[in-house]
Every structure is written in structure tokens, then in C-alpha cells.
Chains A and B, each alone.
Chain A
């Protein structure tokens, strides 16, 4: 019988502001444990929220062998510790920074009401097994989220901005606040040629899931039978990368305990679909290559998932990619989500016009339609080398206005 143990610990300090004023201070301490025992191709699992001693954890996992959850694979081995923490802030220091930021908002933008959270999160994730595997990753970031409403608005909220930072810089906060708020009351006109500047995670997440080997094998993915075909733009490359510095609180090993060469798996390269992704079980079940990643499951056996995908960045900045054209920064919007054909509609209730250097003004409400194949195909402009507006990657692409 072999044994393995997963642990996840996350401690948070949260300063919450309501109507611009400090309302509460919260301390959270979270710990989860998964004990697993492997015998004759079966795994018994005990998942516990909170701390539990190993003897009891493994005993309960052994009792759960009766459930006959199959796992006929050899456990992985290897050791590696990754520490992404830069500067862990004591609570008093975090509060001082948060108070400073909120004071800036109140004094600079007195016609707005604010709700905000400043959260310091320290994360520690570890997996060990009897073969000597010992993988551990640690991270710390300050997360900021601000919701705002203009005093004359009839909306519940007009907009929202957020970002994470490992070493907090108030200048970044001020720049973001200025970008979102300074021109809120200035009316701008919607350009004819509509270019969107968005964080891309919802769209890349949808696209990457179309490459789930299980969906590909069943024929339920829009990309079934398309491996090797060029369906996207020449300069569009999509990669699962676990060492992305703009990914937060993520392990570098997957739910099967596997580590990718160079921490990455190229899914689409220069517009050509290179591979689907499969965990060990899916690879065996459908006779496809095992590529990883597998999602981490503390209570059951893993499956395909746990992706952290990024679009290869252009060497050009956002401004250079725009080439003098303005773009739209959606602020308050709702998406239909992608439908069965990979199409979606977005209603943009509040957005900003950006000329590549500065925000020009606020745009009226409008709707657009997009298609996943066009967003990363004929409408794809690129992901800038820099990170204006969002302090994160921004995707530029053309969209079509609809009535």
C-alpha cells in the first residue's frame, strides 16, 4: 500500500471599506487535508476541512478503499519547492496602505461612493507521497477590489476594478483609479471601428476547454477532428503555463503529480491546434497521449483540467498594436457566455474609450457580438507586451456592434 498527502493552507487579512470608510477587519485561517492510500489499482481518500493527524487521516482513507475508486497508475516522484512570495505585509502595514488608497479615492473623487477590499493572502500548497515526492509552492499577494458608483447614477454600481500584486505599489492603485474614474463624467463617442481591450481569461478558458481530450474524443467539442488544423490567427499561440508570474496561488504540479517540461504545454501554436490535453485516466480511457494537466481533487480521483493558459504576448505595446486607433475598455458588462456554436453577445452598460495613452471618456450603452474563432482568428490584434489599464494582460480584438 502506498500513501500520499495533499495539504492546502491559506491565511487572509482583509480590510473592508463601505461608503469609503473602514468597516471591518477580518482574519481568515483555512486548512484542508487529503489523505490517500493506493492498493491494487484502487485509491481510498479521506478529505478533511481543517487539520487532522496523519494516523487518523490514513485510517479513514483506508476505510474508503471499499468505494473502489480506480487509480491504476504509478505514483510520481520528485522534489521541488517554489516560493513566489516577495513581501508579506504585516496587518498594520496593509491597513496603512489601504487607508492611504481610500483617502486618495475620497479626496480625488468626492462625487463617487466606494466599496473596497484589501486582502493579503498567504498560500501554501504541498503534496507528498511514499515514493519521496515532495512538491511545495508558496505565494503571497495583496488583492484589491473597488466597486464605485457616481452620486447621480441610478445604477446599483457603475463599475469595478481589481488587481493582485505581490509587492504592493500605491502608484499602481492611483493610476488604475484615475483611469477608471477621472473621465467618468466626460462623454465620448463610440468609434466606427470597434476594438475591445479586455482581460482575456473567460475567453481563453472557454477555448482551452474545447481542447479537453475527453470532449474531443466524445465528439462534443467544436474542435473535434481539428488537431493539426490552422483555425486561428498566424500570431496566436495558446499555452498552459504554470510558472506564469501573473497566475496567483497555483501549484506547478498537476493532480496526477506530474510536472510539465519547462512548466508548459503548447496547445495552439501560430494558429495551428497542436494537441488536446489529457490526464492519466483520460489518456488511458480514450487511447490518446498523456499530456497533463489534471485538476487537483482533494476528495476524489483527478480528471482533465486545472489549466492556467496564457496567450503569447506580442513584442509590441498596447499603444503600438492599436497604431493610433482608439479602443473600448468594457467596465460594467454582461456576457451571454459562449453558446453551442462558440458565439456570444455582450451588453456593455458602461465602458471607457482609450486612445493608447489615456482614457478619453465614457461611452453609451451598446451591444456587441463575437465568435471564439474570430476573436482569436480574423479579429485578433494581439496581447500587448505591457499592461496598461488592468495591470494585467490585455487582449485587443475587433468586435461587431449589434442592435
Chain B
């Protein structure tokens, strides 16, 4: 479907339309707990007069033209709008890129099939007689989204994305205390959700062992090895957010701190962002119509790039990167990560663990935040003694200085993985991202 709009004269305007269909099913301790679906169409209309942005949202496609006209009435016509710094930056592409319109379109999968997938996992991974399990939950869900972007400069873009989710979590109650753990998957197609039973049961065993045997950590600084899932979050939180250019515009202190060519980490570390990978952070065109690509944010420990929207790129005189993203049509785009990862290194992960005399192996993490001090909240850690993985340890929080920790990376593993289960929050907006990395060996982090 293509739309034609009458864009106002002497103003810049764009329209972003989102059509989505979602469904979800969840079973908890044998009861069908969640069974829902939704369909949504919405649009954000923006008008810019060189001074202010005027925006409106609507759930009715019939109202878009009226919204455009109404916003144009509020704005001040500007015959030189095409010469405005940011307007000159906006790219003009015309493309339809539908990856999920054929057999892999999740909308063609019946509700009964989704339920069959969930029931299959329940049958194999939930045992009602298991005395160790006080709670279990299995959920599947899917969302298909089509985004369309039109601008007064002539952009006409349409693309789609979808995501399928499987989550299987357990609660283990030991001496009145319940520990939760399990495994979640986000895939791009429904068939990729199948066949994970063994991994789920392995994770169940790890968390049961943790529930029964974890000991409280003695707070302090520890040498550590981060598993790929944790490196992925570390990369996102410790460095990714510092690469978002919108926080340093016209800020002398930060621009001097993050000057291109500066050594900001170990020469073993290279970090990229790549929006057109068909993963959870897939954004082939951002929400300003800029085409995405691959950018090295750090190459061999040297700062080589940062993430931009049209505004930050034009102010800093750097190339646009296609990282202007909005949570959905209710929000204006801001600079965000997409698929962000630390590249694989040359070190053997097993050798990295074997080289630690007394430290911590961090396997799973729940969430994290990134400022000058970054924070990660782990869910599964083990003590390392004399190069051997020993008992599980209960850790509330891992912290480190962004400015120091990137230099403290002594080993970068060959076992790279990209994870599609991440979501990122910034300024009240949550977006899908992927994060990736290999195992890394860090000289020192603070554990509490």
C-alpha cells in the first residue's frame, strides 16, 4: 500500500506510519495464563520550519493529511527551508524492502500452531512432579511490523521486521527463598523458535544448582571472565552509550574527552554498530529516512566513530550513520544503538579461565546501565580458583569505570555470539537492539 500526501509549501515535513500485529500465549504452572492479540496502526506527522518541530500522532490514517495541514498552520513558512542545516542532511531514498512477506511471515502462522509450539516445550521442559520446581512459565509471542516513511524531500520507504519470542523460566524455592532462572530467545522467524529444549534444560540445571549452592560473594575487586552474553551487555552499557553523539553536542568537555583517534581501550578491542543486520536491532532505514550501514566505533582500542542522527552529524561535521530511532510512532527519533557488538579476538576462552588464579566467571546478566560508572546486575556467577570453575556465587552488582575498564581487557575470545534478547532504554524510550561479543578477560571489576 502506498500513500500520497500533500506536503506543505516552504516547510519540511515527514510522515512515519507503523502497522503492527502481535499475539502472545503464556502458560504458568499448567494454566493458560495469557492469551491475547493486538493490531495497531499509527502515524507520527512532523513539520519543521527551521526553528521548531511540530508533531502529532494519530491512530487513524484518514487523519494524517489533516494533521499535516494543522501542523503547517502552526509553523512559520520558510522559503529557505531547503537550506536549513538539518534539512540538507536528510537523505532521499525510495525503496520497498520486505523481508517477511512470504512464507516466513509470522502472520501466516495459525494461533493453533503457536500453541502447539508452546505445548511442545511444556511437555519436554516442565515436569509437574519435579519437587525442585515451585513455579514455571512458558511464553511464546510474535510481532510483525511494517514501517513506512514519506518526506517532503521525496523519500518513500517501506520495510518490515518481525520478532518471535520464546521464554521458559523456572522458580526454585529452597528454604523459603525463591530463585528464578531460565532462558529466553528472540528470533526473526517462527521455525527458529524450535529445538531449544536441551539448552533450556541445561539452563534449568545451572539455576537449580545456583538456588541450592550459591554463596554470598565477599564484596571487592576481582579479576574476571565475562561470558559472551555478559560481554554483549558490557559492550552496550560501557561503551555503546558513550558513542551516542547527541549527548556531546556543543559540550566542550565531552568532545575533548571523546576525540576521534584517541586511545580509549585495549588494542584487543574493536566495537561496531551495524543497523542493516537482520537481527533484533535491524533498522535498514532509520526514522529520519537515513540508510544504515556498518560503523566501527572503536578499532584496535582507538576511537574511530560514533552514532549519529542528522542533527548531531551536521553539528559535528561527521557522517550520518542511520541511528535516529524512535520507540514507536508516539515518539520522535533520538540517537540509539542498533546491532552493537565487540568483535571476536584471538584468545581461547578456556585458556582465559584457566589463567585466572582467584576470580569470578560471569555467565548471565539481567540488566545494566551506562554512565561514567557502568553497572551490570548478574544472575549467574561462579568462583574461579586456580583456573577451575568452582561454586556459584551470589552477586548483586558489578561496577566499573568506563574510562578504565576498556583498558583492563586482557583477553578477547574467539567465541563470538550475537544476542537478540536485549532491549535498551533511553530518555523514556525503549527500542529493540542486539548486542554481541566473545568471552573477555578483565583485570579488575568491582563485585558487590
Chain A residues packing against B (C-beta within 8 Å): 16, 19, 22-31, 45, 47-51, 67, 69, 113, 115, 145, 147, 149, 151-157, 218-222, 224, 297, 299-300, 303, 332, 334, 336-337, 339-341, 343-345, 347, 349, 365, 367, 369, 402-403
Contact = CB atoms under 8 A, between A and B. Distances in A.
Contacts of A25: 52-55, 74
Contact of A300 (B34, B42, B219): B34
B332 A50 contact: no
Contacts of B428: 145
Contacts of B348: none
Interface string B199-214: 0000000000001000
B329 to A, nearest CB: 10
B76 interface: no
A151 B134 contact: no
Nearest to B368: A334
A299 B37 contact: yes
Given A27-B55, A29-B58, A156-B247, A340 B180 contact: yes
Contact of A23 (B33, B53, B178, B369): B53
Contacts of B377: 336-337
A349 B371 contact: yes
B299 interface: no
Contact of A369 (B135, B403, B427, B448): B448
Contact of A50 (B54, B59, B251): B59
8 contacts: A24-B52, A29-B58, A49-B38, A49-B42, A145-B428, A156-B242, A219-B178, A300-B36
B68 to A, nearest CB: 13
Contact of B171 (A157, A220, A337): A220
> By CB atoms of chain A within 10 A, which of B247, B249, B394, B396 has the most?
B396
Nearest to B45: A27
A218 B30 CA distance: 13
A337 B368 CA distance: 11
B253 A24 contact: no
Contact of A22 (B52, B330, B375, B394): B52
B230 to A, nearest CB: 15
Contact of A337 (B173, B257, B366, B448): B366
A369 B447 CA distance: 13
Given A151-B253, A155-B372, A224 B396 contact: no
B314 to A, nearest CB: 14
Contacts of B252: 151
A137 to B, nearest CB: 22
B36 A299 contact: yes
A384 to B, nearest CB: 28
A27 B375 CA distance: 36
The 6 closest A-B pairs by CB, nearest first: A50-B59, A24-B53, A299-B36, A336-B396, A345-B396, A336-B397
A369 B56 CA distance: 45
Contact of B55 (A26, A67, A153): A26
Contacts of B52: 22-25
B55 A31 contact: no
Contacts of B373: 347, 349, 365
Contacts of B370: 156
A19 B249 contact: yes
A290 B290 CA distance: 54
B35 interface: yes
Interface string B124-147: 000000000011000000000000
Contacts of B394: 339
B29 interface: yes
Contacts of B134: 218-220
Interface of B: 29, 33-42, 52-60, 74, 134-135, 171, 173, 176-180, 211, 219-220, 241-242, 247, 249-254, 257, 330, 332, 366-367, 369-373, 375, 377, 394, 396-397, 399, 403, 427-428, 448
A340 B178 contact: yes
B213 to A, nearest CB: 13
> By CB atoms of chain A within 10 A, which of B219, B247, B366, B397 has the most?
B397
A26 B55 CA distance: 4
Contacts of B38: 47, 49, 299
B369 A334 contact: yes
B336 to A, nearest CB: 14
> By CB atoms of chain B within 10 A, which of A24, A221, A222, A340 has the most?
A340
Given A220-B134, A340-B178, A49 B59 contact: yes
B371 A29 contact: no
Contacts of A26: 54-57, 332
Contact of B375 (A47, A300, A347): A347
B254 A154 contact: yes
Nearest to A338: B396
A50 B60 contact: yes
B397 A300 contact: no
Contacts of A299: 36-38
B446 to A, nearest CB: 8
Given A22-B52, A27-B56, A300-B35, A403 B219 contact: yes
Contacts of B60: 50-51
Contacts of B40: 49-50
Given A69-B35, A151-B252, A157-B371, 20 more contacts: A24-B55, A29-B59, A30-B57, A49-B40, A50-B41, A50-B59, A50-B60, A154-B253, A156-B242, A220-B135, A220-B171, A299-B36, A334-B397, A336-B397, A337-B366, A340-B180, A343-B396, A345-B397, A347-B397, A367-B397
Contacts of A365: 373
Nearest to B55: A26
Contact of A153 (B41, B171, B253, B366): B253
Contacts of A48: 39
Contacts of B375: 334, 336, 347
A343 B427 CA distance: 28
B396 A339 contact: yes
A24 B54 contact: yes
Contacts of B397: 334, 336, 345, 347, 367
B257 to A, nearest CB: 5
A19 B250 contact: yes
A402 B56 contact: no
Nearest to B379: A339
B251 A149 contact: yes
Contacts of A221: 178
Contacts of A149: 247, 251
Contacts of B171: 218, 220
Nearest to A368: B448
A341 B251 contact: no
A168 B252 CA distance: 35
B251 to A, nearest CB: 7
Contact of A151 (B53, B180, B211, B251): B251
A220 B133 CA distance: 10
A83 B52 CA distance: 34
B236 to A, nearest CB: 14
A224 B176 contact: yes
